Structure 1
């Protein structure tokens, strides 16, 4: 059951730990903040289990939504070159799948792949997340009555925070 609470839980998740904030969407004020460092580097599945344990605590319950930023460590990326010969989004998606397979020697069918388009005539960026972990995350959100409002790689979140600094053709973004 989804709740009508004005609160959302924003989470940053990495192999080394997690950072959580409970934010009121109406006032944009942070109501609670917590950081947890893991004792060792975790897989995404293990980190999601840790997130589930935190969400079960009373101070994180009864929120309406979950916004998650994932470490780039768990994702696969590929630049999808622009081509006028690709006539449909499905063809562009197939190209992204082929690039992921070629770059990482892993079957693209294991992943959910999304392309961030940069406009006509410009390359896009494909991000691939293992399908099993996405399903685990969706089940986790449902179990805690949260709508999964946003799921973004750290790279895309960092890019979105710098729109004015990255205009034009010159520029670079490093995300460590």
Structure 2
């Protein structure tokens, strides 16, 4: 028997659907997607978990590894400034939670905080994920006999994949997911701002959002980089360099292919 690496699956939890991709060795295969309806009586992630359970049931893969990418719909973002007063991981977590509470006006007791690794003196990008969603994914992995290897906001995965294409210096990185965009502004080698906002799925709305963000930057505009999975018309935007140009019209498949 050949002891090769196990099969690997990647699930993408989008704003209105979930998708599943598979790779074995160098072979990649998109297995499909499943839409779901939002229910105001449930948390935003609940129908996504249900849809993913159904999709995994159609493609049983016991013993395989599972990676999960989360749309910005299921995440909250915040800039955490540097503080010389922070000396331990527990203090840093409490400080990040205070930053979130100040920004959103409510505590995030039931959310897990993940901070970007940055050098001393630099601000960090903090991401908050619902603890119940993470526990639900762990339970779904056990039920499906899958090894849950990672759960990651798509913003982090996309930025890490695109970062080699970004020039040094000041820039604005824009992730335009369906219905929601996230913008990361860097200046002087450090993060200056993170903004997540609902945005219509057209070039005009996205261009206006980019221009408003650039106005906060000052007279010398930063270089703008765009990653817009599933938006084949994004090249019409002005002053934007595409990090990942794609002709894939299914945003879930495009998100999977961009980081596979």
TM, length-normalised to structure 1: 0.87
Could you say what secondary structure the match of 1:159 adopts? Answer: helix
Q: Which has the higher contact order (CA 8 A, sep 6+)?
A: 1
Larger radius of gyration: 2
Distance 2:29 2:165 in 1: 30
TM-superposition CA deviations, 1:13-38 (whole Å, max 9, x none): 112112211111xx231145212233
Q: Measured at CA, do residues 137 and 106 of structure 1 come closer, stay the same or move farther in structure 2, by a change above 3 Å?
A: farther
Match of 2:14 in 1: 14
Match of 1:50 in 2: 51
2:34–2:51 contact (8 Å) kept in structure 1? no
The structural deviation recorded for 1:119 is 2.1
The structural deviation recorded for 1:5 is 6.6
2:63–2:147 contact (8 Å) kept in structure 1? no
Of the structure 1 ranges 89-98 and 29-38, higher mean CA displacement relative to structure 2 is found in 29-38
Distance 1:28 1:93 in 2: 39
Task: Check if 1:164 corresponds to 2:164.
Answer: yes
Q: Measured at CA, do residues 63 and 8 of structure 1 come closer, stay the same or move farther in structure 2, by a change above 3 Å?
A: farther
TM-superposition CA deviations, 1:121-175 (whole Å, max 9, x none): 2111111111112111111111111121111111111111112233533111111
1:61-140 equivalence runs, <5 A: 61-140=61-140
Distance 1:62 1:138 in 2: 14
Distance 1:102 1:111 in 2: 15
Query: Stretches of 4+ moved more than 4 A in 1?
Result: none
TM-superposition CA deviations, 1:83-123 (whole Å, max 9, x none): 22211222211111111122222322111111112222211
Q: Measured at CA, do residues 91 and 169 of structure 1 come closer, stay the same or move farther in structure 2, by a change above 3 Å?
A: farther
Q: Which runs of 5+ in 1 are unaligned?
A: none
Could you say what secondary structure the match of 1:174 adopts? Answer: strand
Q: Which runs of 5+ in 2 are unaligned?
A: 177-260
1:9–1:63 contact (8 Å) kept in structure 2? no
Distance 1:32 1:94 in 2: 40
2:33–2:55 contact (8 Å) kept in structure 1? no
Q: How many residues align?
A: 169
CA RMSD of aligned residues (A): 1.9
